[in-house]
Structure 1
């Protein structure tokens, strides 16, 4: 009977911890606190030195739970990574995820060996544990701060964070085996070990992802079973790869990448389910890691751990990033920001628990150092991430508002999705009542009544519209339902401008000097330059006291834009006189005539 009471109490306690984690996530989002840090603190509060007084030192259970959680989290990371983001950033991102991790391991490892009086291999083990970044921590902070990085920079950070964990695991397992072997393994054996793990992880991951897509599309599973099938398959892929001595984490990431970039049935339900499961995995894993640490035991190694953390943040990671990105032509500001966005997370603490499980000497030091490094990284780098991006002018001007979209799976096919949107008063579709031909309106909900599309007429504010669209064009349709954000509303004067108008002619009307970086570009070309080929409705940028904003797009192209001036820009700009307007129009006309003449001249030369 006593055992039953203990089991019931354990269930209650576990549920209470998860509820605390869920509620604390709201506080973290409100104040921009790194979410991982919140969960760790909760774990420590109920631990042996906290108010709970629970003694927990089960490293085997921690490894089991941590492995399952990381497998699901990494699969989810691959599931959300779109291959079109790889264009132009594959080399720098993969360089950071591989060469960058190795350089960070080497630099931090040598410094740790010197500071902690360890052997070189033991120092490298410390470096390998803290070499990878935590994607969940980085992008939680970016989202909670309302920050949008420029496309190239954000893609690099996403790909690096999603792919550098397997490399860190490679190095950690390899170094543990070398330390335990005490130099008996040769360089050839080490190389074969790395090759086998990478090859098996890659082959099983790609093959497993392909099999998952085949099963989803060809096998009729009961309603609601698709997400559970995918989660179980991801864990099976990890377990199979690990049993065969391959890289299980690399395998599940690649499997998620395959599933996320192929048309599969029930994908909206799968992604929604993975949101919930991933959050649960993070909460359970981080709280367990917090329980595992005893704060009082950190005190003897606290000073030296702080020194290593400072070295990693200001020397190890920045030098590794510079070595990878500087030869590829990245600016100093971009290199500095990527070097600072090196938040350490659960993977580092999880890896630090492995030496204890494997019986490596000095295993307590590894865990203490990794824990301190993670906490200092989250506190120092986590709270300065958004201000630094804005200070370095690497954030997009303004924040693109999010669209409220509901996705409905259509059984039996995957060529089209049904999506639903609320119609906002300031959205492009409400103002212009225009829809692309590839978006088929199914029905409209108006005043709590379902109305046939033929009887509904144009969409009105307050409606809820349901549409059939190709999956690859859903994001394009999103832009028509995005309401104008308050950040983009201006209390001064506003004027429509043509997207094909020369930008220099527009600014000259208002007596504003055009920066050299824009050259002879049109308004549309300037937006494409500023937003790196992916402008959207609501995007805006400033030139002196003027702000230009995209108000409508059609088939991926800017169809209407707007110029704002006055109070928001912080400068007083009077309306141009007729002389100034005529002068600006003449300048604009002259630029267009000159462009036509140059084009005609080029054609004559070609003939």
Structure 2
């Protein structure tokens, strides 16, 4: 019975911690400090006050955070969807891949010059700090959602650069010996291998999961979400076993599933959104338990981390984005906002733990620097995101919570019913309904703008991010082109 009581106490503590983590999102709205900052800092302080909390091994922490990141990337891919991703593929790959390499290289130069690190530790540090985390941005914005190209590029960049950063780190750690040229060649080979295998298996796995979701019925509603989750982990595991990027694989699979029509799709999306929120809490809290704050002053991590954080925020990130965004058709304000919002999150801390596991020279110092940079990015930059968005006049809309739903359940799939979101710059953007070439057998049934139903008539003029429900007897490809932007 004593063991039962101890287990019950542990459950109580975890439950209270979870409730506090959820409540911190409310505190985040008041303070403009992203909720992940509370998870990370509170866990780090708690482990200093109660050393007994430092019982998790580095391997266990990495495994837990890996599972959480796989969930987050899959959910992020589903939220993005192929229809939104496709027109911005070139821009996302440019920022997510080239931007990651450029950021890692410039940060390595800064770490070598300003902090006196050798080139290999400096490059590892730059690689760890290159990936971004849009979840932190959206945590600060609360119920305001960024629209237009910025709202696609921001999550798209993170979804792309997280696997890129992880694969690059794996290649660098695996190439620990040999000449500089040989190390660079081996790293490039491993990186390309991980990216190609991850993309191929993610596409194949996403296609297979699409077929299962649409064709194979299950006896209970709750099983549909569990099947999707199991499928995502199967895709991650298969890609990893095949020496590819499991993170890229689940992100690609999520994108392919984002727009499909399948039984219980809304319920599946809500399930993965809730699971993604849980994954964010777990990832930041567990990573916070690995940071001994009492060592920071002795090792000079605070000073080094703050120097690098300022250089990253004010010089490196703006310089990289200025080069990559200058030819894209966006307002200057949107470009400035994208340059400012390269916030760091759980992935840099995870990559820092890989450096510690590899027993690189000065690994503890590098890990502490990563932690300081992440805290600065989340707390200082994150707190300024709403203000910068207002200054830059970034288009966004308010999303009010709607806790009550009214719907109709059907036994069979409703044929001829399709839903589109009006993309910025698409033929439908700004056009009245009567001027849309949707065909004689198609009509628009509902238009939802900022959560409100609009009366539909021929003179109703559509706007960016309007949700449009169509009833059609024709092929939907023609209609889809009207609502999709082809800007590059």
Q: Aligned residue for 1:159?
A: 156
8 Å CA contact retained: 1:269, 1:409 = no
Q: Aligned-pair distance for 1:323?
A: 1.0
Say which structure, 1 or 2, has more relative contact order (CA 8 Å, 6+ apart): 2
Q: Aligned residue for 1:18?
A: 18
**Residues 210 and 379 of structure 1, relative CA distance in 2, 3 Å threshold:** same
Higher helix share: 2
Q: Aligned residue for 2:278?
A: 280
Q: Aligned-pair distance for 1:57?
A: 5.0
Comparing 21-30 with 382-391, greater Cα deviation is found at 21-30
Q: Report the Cα distance in structure 2 between the residues aligned to 1:252 and 1:141, rounded to whole angstroms.
A: 26
Matches within 5 A, 1:138-157: 138-142=137-141, 144=142, 146-157=143-154
Aligned pair count? 444
Q: Helix, strand or coil: the match of 2:289?
A: helix
**Residues 86 and 237 of structure 1, relative CA distance in 2, 3 Å threshold:** closer
Q: Helix, strand or coil: the match of 1:478?
A: strand
- 1:478 paired to 2:477: no
8 Å CA contact retained: 1:410, 1:418 = no
- 1:179 paired to 2:176: yes
Q: Aligned-pair distance for 1:410?
A: 4.0
Pick from 233, 250, 253: which aligns with 1:252?
A: 250
**Residues 477 and 330 of structure 1, relative CA distance in 2, 3 Å threshold:** closer
Q: Aligned-pair distance for 1:56?
A: 3.6
Matches within 5 A, 1:325-404: 325-396=325-396, 399=398
- 1:46 paired to 2:46: yes
Comparing 235-244 with 63-72, greater Cα deviation is found at 235-244
8 Å CA contact retained: 2:163, 2:248 = yes
Q: Aligned-pair distance for 1:77?
A: 0.5
1:45-83 superposed Cα distances (whole Å, 9 cap, x missing partner): 421x13676234511110110111101110001111133
Q: Aligned residue for 1:135?
A: 134
The higher radius of gyration belongs to 1
Q: Aligned residue for 2:109?
A: 110
8 Å CA contact retained: 2:121, 2:361 = no
Q: Aligned residue for 2:80?
A: 81
Q: Helix, strand or coil: the match of 1:110?
A: helix
Q: Aligned residue for 1:567?
A: none
Matches within 5 A, 1:30-69: 30-47=30-47, 49-50=48-49, 54-56=53-55, 58-69=57-68
Q: Report the Cα distance in structure 2 between the residues aligned to 1:236 and 1:382, rounded to whole angstroms.
A: 34
Q: Aligned residue for 2:316?
A: 316
Q: Aligned-pair distance for 1:292?
A: 1.2
Relative to the length of structure 2, the TM-score reads 0.82
Relative to the length of structure 1, the TM-score reads 0.67
8 Å CA contact retained: 1:73, 1:278 = yes
8 Å CA contact retained: 2:39, 2:285 = yes
Q: Report the Cα distance in structure 1 between the residues aligned to 2:406 and 2:104, rounded to whole angstroms.
A: 44
**Residues 57 and 356 of structure 1, relative CA distance in 2, 3 Å threshold:** farther
8 Å CA contact retained: 1:46, 1:53 = no
1:547-598 superposed Cα distances (whole Å, 9 cap, x missing partner): xxxxxx9979xxxxxxxxxxxxxxxxxxxxxxxxxxxxxxxxxxxxxxxxxx
8 Å CA contact retained: 2:96, 2:161 = yes
1:99-128 superposed Cα distances (whole Å, 9 cap, x missing partner): 111111111111112233222222111111
Q: Helix, strand or coil: the match of 2:269?
A: helix
For structure 1, list consecutive stretches of 5 or more residues without a partner in the other structure: 420-437, 439-469, 485-497, 501-522, 538-552, 557-607
**Residues 138 and 410 of structure 1, relative CA distance in 2, 3 Å threshold:** farther
Q: Aligned-pair distance for 1:155?
A: 1.7
Q: Report the Cα distance in structure 1 between the residues aligned to 2:270 and 2:85, rounded to whole angstroms.
A: 24
For structure 2, list consecutive stretches of 5 or more residues without a partner in the other structure: 420-437, 472-488
Q: Report the Cα distance in structure 1 between the residues aligned to 2:381 and 2:149, rounded to whole angstroms.
A: 21
Matches within 5 A, 1:148-297: 148-179=145-176, 185-223=182-220, 224-297=222-295
Q: Aligned-pair distance for 1:536?
A: 4.4
1:279-315 superposed Cα distances (whole Å, 9 cap, x missing partner): 1111112111111111112223110111000000001
**Residues 59 and 414 of structure 1, relative CA distance in 2, 3 Å threshold:** farther
Q: Report the Cα distance in structure 2 between the residues aligned to 1:480 and 1:27, rounded to whole angstroms.
A: 25
Q: Helix, strand or coil: the match of 1:220?
A: coil
**Residues 181 and 280 of structure 1, relative CA distance in 2, 3 Å threshold:** farther
Comparing 354-363 with 238-247, greater Cα deviation is found at 354-363
Q: Report the Cα distance in structure 2 between the residues aligned to 1:150 and 1:278, rounded to whole angstroms.
A: 21
Q: Aligned residue for 1:430?
A: none
**Residues 410 and 184 of structure 1, relative CA distance in 2, 3 Å threshold:** farther
Superposition CA RMSD, Å: 3.3
8 Å CA contact retained: 2:83, 2:259 = no
**Residues 197 and 39 of structure 1, relative CA distance in 2, 3 Å threshold:** same
8 Å CA contact retained: 2:147, 2:465 = no
**Residues 555 and 271 of structure 1, relative CA distance in 2, 3 Å threshold:** closer
8 Å CA contact retained: 1:128, 1:171 = yes
Q: Aligned-pair distance for 1:256?
A: 0.8
Q: Aligned residue for 1:94?
A: 93
Q: Aligned-pair distance for 1:87?
A: 5.7
Q: Report the Cα distance in structure 1 between the residues aligned to 2:125 and 2:408, rounded to whole angstroms.
A: 47
Q: Aligned-pair distance for 1:31?
A: 3.4
Q: Aligned-pair distance for 1:233?
A: 1.4
